[in-house]
């Protein structure tokens, strides 16, 4: 009896503790790192008094945790840095559809889930970067053309294990079909100047140092590096402007299926699509706001405007496994 | 048949084994459905190359850590040469550097775009190049430099414990120092070296951070790829269970190789056995200094440079909390893990039945699993317990029916216990084995038994082993990343979490601040303990 009372007391205490916290807060699982989301949350707390608690990790473990916790999850919102992962989270059934006029008005349909389960918050262009010393922009045209013989020994790529490359390949498959895509990827692999890199920053530094002449990376890595080294001998090029446009991925978020504070989470998500939040969310990492009414930061705007691929970002998720297998077959490690 | 007195140990070991088996059974149950498409793909394009890579890595790292660890331990514990006294503990310092940190320092420093090659190009033109840095050789060198301390620490303790009489007897019998090493000291230290080597190999098999900096594909990277890119947690856990099988083989091999050699506990020597002179002394100093420089001085210098260039702008009051969290987790985990490992070691010694031996071996396998896999398995197991046990119990008691385990501090500490049991167990079992059974028998005959026997006879003799074990666990927890990431309670960010956030964005220079702090925090106990633990008698 005594033991039962003690246990009961323990449970009551733990319940009380959660009840007190639960008043005005949103709990977030985030694959976007602390310093890239905290400023946004801080502003929200300042404005509304709603506290935002979060932990960061990679997407796959976070989704696994959401699944395992099921109805008991403390999480209200899942933030990822890639559309494929959002799509996957939706497939795994850990997100819930949200109907929101605010989001529909702020974010173009191609950057949202067709079921309303998630929405993009910032755009991340994955484009071609070239050495200003050894390459003339006129030599460049499309992603596909990097498979041509004249780039042999001049191309640098990041590992195929990175989801950004898997998404890029997924859109190639969607556009060209698997056979043609495999040919292109084999061409790229054949043109490699050195082993693939573990991250985009190292790749840009390799172009700068002369190890290779062209490469494909996300623009914000360039933005960060350029800030530190204004004399960087590397520039972005916007490929495929005559056809489908530059490959664009996105960071985004969705309300979890069993969100304890679903309403508060939706409010936060809606606010994150507004101009005020978009400026910071994209600005802290030199990304492009997903809300087209919001201007990118001055640094980002300086890279010029471009036509973005209008393919639905969901494709990245649907074809990710297929894309990865294709890259494996083509020898892209 | 087990003696009734021996059976008293069964429940304790049973509980620990159950705790470890809970997440492991999650791995085994993953085999209920097999995704043939993924397996066919892996088989056709990946597996053979990956297994080849992994074997090369294990072989290279195994040979490397043995050569480095044993040679350095022999020199610092039995010889005398200039600088020996500080090198003795300094050579332990690289242990505080996480493998992923040394990897990004090494690549950042030496790759084509790094400062060394840039300088070489400026001075000698573009013709002169280093051999490829991101290569098999590069990975092996980095892993050897971070994992050799396992062998060094355990071999050093063993050499020191071998006692004066033994080596003097060898000398009297006409063995040269070299012969004495090969024919007497080495065979007797073999169990300790084997234990250190097993730890290094398990770390190598489980490593993800360092190999991904090199983009070197191993079995472990395939596990992650299957999970992250094919979205098949099931297939990933299946791969992980195969890795687990390999580890059990390693452990079994280590046990077999250990054979019947029984470590002794003689009185430690006062003076060095072999004062080295001239060229020999210079070579000894040179070798130790070389290893120390590559494994510690250069990486630390590079981290300091990066810290000064970028990291100092990130330094703010939040680092106090990060350091406190890190220290707290490390200390708590060390305390819990060493206590439980001590129980296991005693259980195995006092009740050496077949059942007990297998139970204890099982309790040690958690170390070799890639951290994230183990973390996910533990997470799944805990959420199962929450769902099936905690919540119904809580509702029955009239509580709120909320999960208690997942996301709690105790769950994280349990995860550390499961993961690092082997780290604590190795040194403890070794130092326990050096206590001859005659000693407690004599004590018992003098009427000293039970707790008193433990505290007055065993514990004083076990102090070096306990300190080694605690030190190893503490530093391993500081460096641990995946389980901390997945299972930490809200607000419990640690230094390794901060390193993860920076490196995941490719911001190596900014990762220098948390990495440097991590190393410094890890160094304090390393220096303190190594200087206290097995110093030679007659020295201060």
**ipTM score of complex:** 0.84
Residue A301 in domain: no
Q: Are residues A201 and A313 in the same domain?
A: yes
Q: Are residues A11 and A72 in the same domain?
A: yes
Which of these, A230, A188, A228, A229, lies nearest to A212 by C-alpha position? A188
Residue A148 in domain: yes
Segment holding A9, helix H or strand E: helix A2-22
Q: Are residues A227 and A257 in the same domain?
A: no
- Of A311-315, B116-120, B276-280, B526-530, least confident by mean pLDDT is B526-530
Which of these, B38, B77, B205, B143, lies nearest to B534 by C-alpha position? B77
> Would you say B422 and B202 are in contact if contact means Cβ atoms under 8 Å apart?
yes
Residue A240 in domain: yes
**Global pTM value:** 0.87
Percentage of residues of chain A with pLDDT beyond 90: 81
Q: Nearest CA of chain B to the CA of A127: how many Å?
A: 17
Enumerate long-range contacts of B307-310, CB under 8 Å, 24 or more apart.
B307/B512, B307/B513, B307/B516, B309/B509, B310/A228, B310/B507, B310/B509, B310/B510, B310/B512, B310/B513
Count Cβ–Cβ pairs < 8 Å, chain A vs chain B: 151
- Of A175-189, B73-87, B225-239, B247-261, least confident by mean pLDDT is B247-261
Are B46 and A328 an interchain contact pair (Cβ–Cβ within 8 Å)? yes
Confidence band of B262 (pLDDT split at 50, 70, 90): low
Query: B273 versus A185: which is more confidently predicted?
Result: A185
Is B351 a residue whose pLDDT tops 90?
Answer: no
Q: Nearest CA of chain B to the CA of A60: how many Å?
A: 6
Question: What average pLDDT does the segment B365-375 reach?
Answer: 77
Percentage of residues of chain B with pLDDT beyond 70: 92
Are B383 and A329 an interchain contact pair (Cβ–Cβ within 8 Å)? no
pLDDT of residue A155: 97
Residues of chain B contacting residue A77, judged by C-beta atoms under 8 Å apart: none
Q: Give first-to-last CA distance, chain A, whole Å.
A: 62
Q: Nearest CA of chain A to the CA of B215: how many Å?
A: 6
How far apart CA B91 and CA B135 sit, in angstroms, is 26
- Of A9-13, A107-111, A260-264, B185-189, least confident by mean pLDDT is A9-13
Partner-chain residue, chosen from A8, A34, A201, that has the shortest CB–CB distance to B506: A201
Query: B27 versus A15: which is more confidently predicted?
Result: B27
Is B1 a residue whose pLDDT tops 70?
Answer: no
Is B433 a residue whose pLDDT tops 70?
Answer: yes
Q: Are residues A236 and A140 in the same domain?
A: yes
Q: Are residues A167 and A201 in the same domain?
A: yes
Residue B81: CA count within 13 A, CB half-sphere:
24
Partner-chain residue, chosen from A200, A206, A325, that has the shortest CB–CB distance to B506: A200
Confidence band of B271 (pLDDT split at 50, 70, 90): low
Q: Nearest CA of chain B to the CA of A234: how many Å?
A: 13
Is A256 a residue whose pLDDT tops 90?
Answer: yes
Confidence band of B32 (pLDDT split at 50, 70, 90): confident
pLDDT of residue B162: 76
Q: Which of A200, A321, A329 best tests the B interface by mutation, with the highest count of B CBs <10 A?
A: A321
Say yes or no: domain B4-533 is CATH 1.10.3720.10: yes
Partner-chain residue, chosen from A54, A72, A321, that has the shortest CB–CB distance to B229: A321
Phi and psi angles of residue A232, each rounded to the nearest 5 degrees, phi first: -55, 130
Pairing of strands A119-131, A214-218: antiparallel
Q: What is the pLDDT of residues A100-139, one digit of tens each?
A: 999 999 999 989 998 999 999 999 999 999 999 999 999 9
Q: Nearest CA of chain B to the CA of A321: how many Å?
A: 5
Q: Are residues A38 and A179 in the same domain?
A: no
pLDDT of residue B399: 67
Is A17 a residue whose pLDDT tops 60?
Answer: no
Partner-chain residue, chosen from A7, A53, A88, that has the shortest CB–CB distance to B397: A7
Q: Return the axis-axis angle of helices B508-533 and B495-503, rounded to nearest 10°.
A: 150
Is B246 a residue whose pLDDT tops 60?
Answer: yes
- Of A228-237, B186-195, B332-341, least confident by mean pLDDT is B186-195
Tokens of A290: 């997903």
Q: Are residues A177 and A266 in the same domain?
A: no
Q: Are residues A144 and A282 in the same domain?
A: no
Domain boundaries, chain B: 4-533
pLDDT of residue B260: 54
Q: What is the dihedral of CA B10, B14, B17, B22, to 10 degrees?
A: 170
How far apart CA B455 and CA B258 sit, in angstroms, is 29
Query: A69 versus B262: which is more confidently predicted?
Result: A69
> Would you say B425 and B495 are in contact if contact means Cβ atoms under 8 Å apart?
no
How far apart CA A223 and CA A125 sit, in angstroms, is 12
pLDDT of residue B129: 72
How far apart CA A134 and CA A154 sit, in angstroms, is 10
pLDDT of residue A223: 94
Confidence band of B263 (pLDDT split at 50, 70, 90): low
Q: Is A229 an interface residue toward B (CB < 8 Å)?
A: no
CB count within 10 Å of CB B116 equals 14
Residue A303 in domain: no
DSSP codes of every residue in A276-322: HHHHHHHHTTT-EESSTTSPPPHHHHTT---PBP-S-THHHHHTHHH
**Mean per-residue pLDDT over chain B, rounded:** 85
Percentage of residues of chain B with pLDDT beyond 90: 26
How far apart CA A209 and CA A130 sit, in angstroms, is 12
Are B501 and A35 an interchain contact pair (Cβ–Cβ within 8 Å)? yes
Tokens of B229: 């890119």
| Sign of the CA dihedral running A40, A42, A45, A50 | positive
Partner-chain residue, chosen from A58, A196, A209, that has the shortest CB–CB distance to B113: A209
- State which residue of chain B sits closest to A53, comparing Cα positions: B490
Residues of chain B contacting residue A69, judged by C-beta atoms under 8 Å apart: 383, 403, 406
Split into its structural domains, chain A has a count of: 2
DSSP code of residue B233: H
- Of A46-55, A207-216, B371-380, least confident by mean pLDDT is B371-380
Is A98 a residue whose pLDDT tops 60?
Answer: yes
Q: Nearest CA of chain A to the CA of B170: how many Å?
A: 53
Q: What is the pLDDT of residues A259-279, one digit of tens each?
A: 999 999 999 999 999 999 999
DSSP codes of every residue in A56-124: E--HHHHHHHHHHHGGG----EEEESSHHHHHHHHHTT-B-----HHHHHHS-GGGB-TTSS-EEEEEE
DSSP code of residue B267: P
Q: What is the dihedral of CA A75, A81, A85, A89, to 10 degrees?
A: 20
pLDDT of residue B268: 53
Question: What average pLDDT does the segment B149-173 reach?
Answer: 83
How far apart CA B496 and CA B522 sit, in angstroms, is 12
Task: List the domain range (segments joined by +) for residue A26.
Answer: 2-122+250-296
Residues of chain B contacting residue A199, judged by C-beta atoms under 8 Å apart: 505-506
Confidence band of A19 (pLDDT split at 50, 70, 90): very low
Residues of chain B contacting residue A52, judged by C-beta atoms under 8 Å apart: none
Is B257 a residue whose pLDDT tops 80?
Answer: no
**Residue B378: which residues within 8 A CB-CB, separation 6 or more?**
B22, B23, B411, B414, B415, B418, B483, B487
Q: Are residues A256 and A232 in the same domain?
A: no
Are B379 and A65 an interchain contact pair (Cβ–Cβ within 8 Å)? yes
Q: Are residues A226 and A149 in the same domain?
A: yes
pLDDT of residue A12: 47
In angstroms, how far apart are the furthest CA atoms of chain A? 83
Angle among Cα B331, B334, B339 to the nearest 5 degrees reads: 130
Helix (H, G, I), strand (E, B) or coil at B401: coil
Q: Are residues A257 and A185 in the same domain?
A: no
**CATH code at position A282:** 3.40.190.10
Q: Which of B26, B215, B488 best tests the A interface by mutation, with the highest count of A CBs <10 A?
A: B215
Is B388 a residue whose pLDDT tops 50?
Answer: yes
Segment holding A28, helix H or strand E: strand A25-30
pLDDT of residue B363: 85
Residue A302 in domain: no
Q: Return the axis-axis angle of helices A59-69 and B219-228, rounded to nearest 10°.
A: 60
Q: Nearest CA of chain B to the CA of A333: how many Å?
A: 8
Are A35 and B132 an interchain contact pair (Cβ–Cβ within 8 Å)? no
> Would you say B345 and B469 are in contact if contact means Cβ atoms under 8 Å apart?
no
> Would you say A131 and A210 are in contact if contact means Cβ atoms under 8 Å apart?
yes
> Would you say A76 and A261 are in contact if contact means Cβ atoms under 8 Å apart?
yes
**Is B353 exposed, middle or buried (CB count within 10 Å of its CB: 0-12, 13-18, 19+)?**
middle
In the block, tokens 């000291």 appear at B185
**Mean per-residue pLDDT over chain A, rounded:** 91
Q: What is the pLDDT of residues A162-213, one digit of tens each?
A: 999 999 999 999 999 999 999 999 999 999 999 999 999 999 999 999 999 9
DSSP code of residue B173: T
| A64-89 b/e (C-beta count within 10 Å ≥ 16 → b) | bbbbbbeebbbbbbbbbbbbbbbbbb
Distance of CA B56 to the CA centre of its chain: 20
Confidence band of B539 (pLDDT split at 50, 70, 90): very low
Q: Are residues A48 and A188 in the same domain?
A: no
> Would you say B477 and B329 are in contact if contact means Cβ atoms under 8 Å apart?
yes
How far apart CA A272 and CA A264 sit, in angstroms, is 12
Residues of chain B contacting residue A53, judged by C-beta atoms under 8 Å apart: 490-491
Helix (H, G, I), strand (E, B) or coil at A187: helix
Is B267 a residue whose pLDDT tops 60?
Answer: no
């Amino acid at each position: 009896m005594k033991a039962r009372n003690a246990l009961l007391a323990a449970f009551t205490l733990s319940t009380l503790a959660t009840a007190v916290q639960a008043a005005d807060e949103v709990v977030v699982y985030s694959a976007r790192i602390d310093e890239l989301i905290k400023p946004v949350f801080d502003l929200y707390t300042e404005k509304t008094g709603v506290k935002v608690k979060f932990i960061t990790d990679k997407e796959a473990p976070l989704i696994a945790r959401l699944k395992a916790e099921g109805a008991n999850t403390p999480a209200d919102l899942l933030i990822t840095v890639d559309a494929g992962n959002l799509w996957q989270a939706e497939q795994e059934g850990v997100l819930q559809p949200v109907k929101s006029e605010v989001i529909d008005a702020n974010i173009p349909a191609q950057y949202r889930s067709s079921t309303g389960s998630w929405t993009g918050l910032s755009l991340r262009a994955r484009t071609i970067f070239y050495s200003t010393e050894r390459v003339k922009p006129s030599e460049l045209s499309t992603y596909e053309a990097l498979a041509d013989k004249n780039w042999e020994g001049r191309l640098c790529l990041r590992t195929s294990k990175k989801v950004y490359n898997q998404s890029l390949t997924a859109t190639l498959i969607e556009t060209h079909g698997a056979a043609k895509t495999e040919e292109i990827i084999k061409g790229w692999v054949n043109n490699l100047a050195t082993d693939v890199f573990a991250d985009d920053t190292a790749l840009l530094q390799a172009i700068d140092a002369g190890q290779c002449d062209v490469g494909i990376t996300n623009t914000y890595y360039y933005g960060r590096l350029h800030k530190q080294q204004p004399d960087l001998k590397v520039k972005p090029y916007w490929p495929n402007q005559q056809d489908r446009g530059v490959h664009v991925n996105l960071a985004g978020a969705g309300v979890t299926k069993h969100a304890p504070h679903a309403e508060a989470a939706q409010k936060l998500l809606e606010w994150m699509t507004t101009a005020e939040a978009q400026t910071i969310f994209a600005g802290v990492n030199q990304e492009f706001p997903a809300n087209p009414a919001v201007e990118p930061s001055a640094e980002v705007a300086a890279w010029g405007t471009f036509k973005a691929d209008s393919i639905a970002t969901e494709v990245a998720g649907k074809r990710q496994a297929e894309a990865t297998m294709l890259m494996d077959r083509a020898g892209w490690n | 048949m087990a003696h009734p007195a021996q059976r008293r140990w069964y429940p304790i070991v049973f509980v620990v084994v159950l705790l470890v088996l809970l997440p492991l059974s999650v791995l085994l149950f993953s085999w209920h459905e097999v995704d043939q498409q993924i397996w066919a793909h892996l088989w056709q394009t990946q597996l053979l190359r990956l297994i080849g890579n992994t074997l090369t890595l294990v072989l290279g790292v195994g040979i490397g850590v043995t050569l480095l660890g044993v040679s350095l331990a022999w020199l610092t514990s039995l010889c005398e040469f200039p600088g020996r006294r500080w090198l003795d503990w300094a050579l332990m310092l690289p242990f505080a550097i996480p493998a992923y940190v040394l990897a990004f320092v090494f690549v950042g420093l030496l790759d084509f775009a790094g400062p060394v090659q840039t300088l070489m190009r400026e001075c000698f033109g573009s013709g002169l190049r280093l051999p490829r840095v991101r290569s098999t050789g590069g990975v092996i060198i980095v892993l050897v430099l971070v994992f050799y301390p396992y062998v060094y620490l355990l071999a050093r303790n063993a050499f020191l414990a071998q006692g004066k009489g033994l080596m003097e007897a060898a000398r009297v019998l006409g063995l040269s120092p070299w012969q004495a090493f090969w024919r007497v000291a080495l065979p007797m230290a073999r169990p300790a070296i084997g234990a250190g080597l097993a730890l290094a190999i398990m770390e190598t098999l489980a490593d993800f951070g360092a190999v991904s900096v090199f983009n070197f594909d191993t079995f472990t990277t395939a596990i992650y790829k299957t999970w992250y890119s094919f979205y098949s947690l099931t297939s990933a856990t299946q791969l992980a269970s195969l890795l687990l099988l390999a580890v059990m083989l390693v452990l079994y091999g280590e046990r077999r190789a250990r054979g019947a050699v029984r470590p002794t506990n003689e009185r430690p020597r006062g003076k060095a056995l072999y004062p080295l002179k001239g060229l020999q002394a210079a070579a000894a100093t040179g070798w130790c200094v070389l290893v120390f420089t590559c494994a510690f001085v250069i990486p630390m210098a590079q981290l300091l440079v990066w810290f000064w260039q970028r990291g100092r702008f990130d330094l703010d009051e939040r680092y106090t909390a990060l350091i406190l969290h890190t220290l707290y987790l490390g200390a708590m985990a060390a305390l819990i893990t060493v206590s439980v490992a001590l129980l296991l070691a005693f259980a195995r010694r006092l009740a050496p039945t077949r059942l007990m031996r297998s139970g204890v071996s099982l309790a040690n396998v958690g170390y070799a699993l890639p951290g994230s896999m183990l973390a996910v398995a533990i997470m799944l197991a805990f959420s199962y317990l929450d769902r099936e046990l905690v919540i119904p119990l809580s509702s029955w008691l009239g509580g709120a029916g909320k999960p208690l385990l997942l996301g709690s501090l105790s769950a994280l500490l349990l995860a550390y216990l499961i993961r690092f049991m082997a780290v604590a167990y190795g040194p403890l079992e070794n130092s326990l084995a050096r206590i001859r059974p005659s000693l407690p028998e004599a004590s018992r005959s003098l009427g000293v038994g039970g707790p008193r026997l433990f505290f007055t006879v065993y514990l004083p003799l076990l102090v070096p082993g306990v300190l080694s074990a605690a030190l190893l666990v503490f530093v391993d927890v500081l460096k641990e990343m995946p389980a901390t990431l997945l299972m930490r309670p809200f607000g419990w960010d640690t230094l390794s979490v901060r390193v993860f956030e920076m490196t995941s964005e490719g911001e190596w220079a900014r990762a220098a601040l948390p990495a440097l702090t991590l190393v410094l925090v890890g160094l304090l106990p390393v220096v303190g303990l190594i200087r206290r633990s097995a110093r030679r008698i007659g020295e201060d």
